[in-house]
Every structure is written in C-alpha cells, then in structure tokens.
Amino acid sequence: MSGVTESDPPLLSVRGLTKSYGGRIGCAGIDLELWPGEVLGIVGESGSGKSTLLACLAGHLEADAGTALYAGRDVLTLPEPARRRLGRTEWAFVHQHARDGLRMNVSAGGNVGERLMAGGARHYGDIRRTAEDWLARVEIDPARIDDRPSQFSGGMQQRLQIARGLVTGPKLVLMDEPTGGLDVSVQARLLDLLRGLVRRMGLSAIVVTHDLGVVRLLADRLMVMKDGRAVETGLTDRVLDDPQHGYTQLLVSSVLPT
C-alpha cells in the first residue's frame, strides 16, 4: 500500500565513510543511503564533520576508509577522470560561497554554458538559448545573460551557481550551506526555488547546513552529526519534533522561535 519497498535500489549508498585529519576525526563510520528524488539533510554545528563528509563524497577530499556506491561503482575509488566526469554531468555541487562555484570573470551565460560545452555542445545559439532558459528558471532576468556574476547580488549569485550546476540535468546535487550568508528573505526565495527544482527534475540532494529551518522545509530525511559521527537519522519532522538523542534535543531546543 505504501508503494515503497526496501528493495528499491538507492541512488547512493555510503558505508563506513571515515576521514581523519592527522589524529583528529573529520567524520567516522558514516552510513547513509539516498534514494532517487529524495533530499537528505545533514545538520550539526561547525566541526561536526558534515562538511568533511560532503567533501569526501564530492571528491574534494580523499576518504581514509569506506565505500560510496553510485550506479554500481564506488565513487571513492573511482579514477580521477571518471570522477571529474561524474562531477560535471550526473552530479553537481553547490558551494556555500557562490564565488567558489562560479567563474567570476565569465558572464552569467558562460557560467551556465560551461558544463554544456564541457559535454561537447558546440552550437553557440543553442548554448545561449539553454542558458537563457536556465536563468529564467532560477529567476534571473535573461536580459542579464552577458553580465558578470560580480554585478549580481549574493542571492542572484547563488541562484546562478545552481543554474550552472543543474543545466546538465544531474541526478544528485550536493549542497554545502546553500543559504548560508544570505538574508532571510533571500533564503526563503532560494529554498522555494530549490524545492521546485528538486520536485520537477526528480533530483536527489544532500544538503549540509546548520540551519534547522532549512532542512525542515527542504529535507525528507535528516542526519544529525556530532564529533564526526551520525548520532541520529530519520524522517525530518520526526527527528526535529521528537529527537531521541541528547545532542539533537539540545540542537532543536537551541533554535530561536520564529
């Protein structure tokens, strides 16, 4: 009746992912699964290992141990060319700071078009039309296609970064504090946009954030991390409304009422 069986294959299956910095634990023994169309939130305070986990998955950091199966392959041990190809086709990464994910000296259109051109698109007019379409989808006036990101506001830069990543129709998006550093009203707009895109494109996403409000609105499931370990996982509203672990209770009770 529920329409879901546990035998459906997950899109991503992580087992025992561990990363240390010298003697200090980054993250340890992380298991997680992500199914198609699902958004997983990872919360925890600074230093909890959530960004380390994301960086290992994205290939920005090399994990010490563990596996991360995607489409039958362990992405942690994938040869670099295949890894990078994955990173610009079926995966996308959204950085907290848009300038880390954008080319600031390249126009908005060029930024959005880069993944297309990297994938072999060689028709300028088509690339441009696709870029215009994507600018509109992330609510940037397509007339600004030739402006550089430096002329955009912080919220626009973040939306441009998202367009740049999603233009190739990825299956999995990794987001590191996507609303961090943005004004509250701008955050709401971005969240709305992300929700819509996730829904319409059937995206799966992992969103790392310390903002419980963000995950409540965006994530289907939640993982709470502390000192490099996952202390609690489950349905987002269940973890937030009926936290079982002392740390999660502390985290939830620390949120200022809105």
Partner 1 sequence: MTDYNFAYLDEPTKKMIRRAILKGLAVPGYQVPFASREMPMPCGWGTGGVQVTAACLMPKDVLKVIDQGADDTTNAVSIRAFFARVAGVATTTRTAKASIIQTRHRIPETPLREDQILVYQVPIPEPLRFLEPRETETRRMHALEEYGLMHVKLYEDIARHGAIATSYAYPAMVNDRYVFDPSPIPRFDNPKLESPAIQLFGAGREQRIYAIPPHTRVVSLDFEDHPFEASKADGVCALCGAEDSYLDEIVADDAGTRRFQCSDTDWCAERRA
Partner 2 sequence: MISVSHLSKRFVLHNQGGAEIPVLTEAALTVAPGECVALTGASGSGKSTLLRLLQGNYVPGGGSLVVAGLDLATASAREVSALRRGTLGYVSQFLRVVPRVPAVEVVAEPLAALGVPEEEARARAEALLARLNLPERLWPLSPTTFSGGEQQRVNIARGFVHPYPVLLLDEPTASLDPVNRAVVLDLIREAKARGAAVVGIFHDGPARAEVADREVDVSVFAPRAAS
Question: Footprint of partner 1 on this chain (CB under 8 A)?
Answer: 80-81, 84, 88, 103, 105-107, 109-110, 113-119, 122-125, 127-128, 145-146
Angle of helix 124-137 relative to helix 108-118, nearest 10 degrees, comes to 120
Query: 16-35: which residues touch partner 2 (CB under 8 A)?
Result: 35
Judged by CB under 8 A, the stretch of 13-21, 66-74, 145-153, 230-238 that binds partner 2 is: 230-238
Instruction: Please state the φ and ψ torsions of residue 171, each to the nearest 5 degrees.
Output: -95, -30
Return d(Cα 42, Cα 176) in angstroms, integer. Answer: 10
Answer whether 35's CB lies under 8 Å from 11's CB: yes
**Does residue 217 bind partner 2 (CB under 8 A)?**
yes
Mind giving me the DSSP string for 103-154? -TTS-HHHHHHHHHHHTT---HHHHHHHHHHHHHHTT--GGGTTS-GGGS-H
Q: Which of 3, 22, 23, 120 binds partner 2 (CB under 8 A)?
A: 3
- List the x/- string, 59-88, binding to partner 2 by CB under 8 A: ------------------------------
Tell me how far CA of residue 79 lies from CA of 40, 46, 64, in angstroms. Answer: 26, 31, 16
Q: Which of 11, 12, 38, 76 binds partner 2 (CB under 8 A)?
A: 38
| Helix (H), strand (E) at residue 223 | strand 221-226
**Does residue 216 bind partner 2 (CB under 8 A)?**
yes
4 interacts with, out of partner 2, partner 1, none, CB within 5 to 8 A per kind: partner 2
215 interacts with, out of partner 1, partner 2, none, CB within 5 to 8 A per kind: none
Q: Which of 221, 224, 225, 226 binds partner 2 (CB under 8 A)?
A: 221
Return d(Cα 236, Cα 218) in angstroms, integer. Answer: 9
Query: 160-199: which residues touch partner 2 (CB under 8 A)?
Result: 185, 188-189, 191-192, 195, 199
Smallest distance, partner 1 to C-beta of residue 140, A: 15
**Does residue 238 bind partner 2 (CB under 8 A)?**
yes
Exposure string over 128-154, b if 16+ CB within 10 A, otherwise e: bebbbebbebbebebebbebbbeebee
232 interacts with, out of partner 2, partner 1, none, CB within 5 to 8 A per kind: none
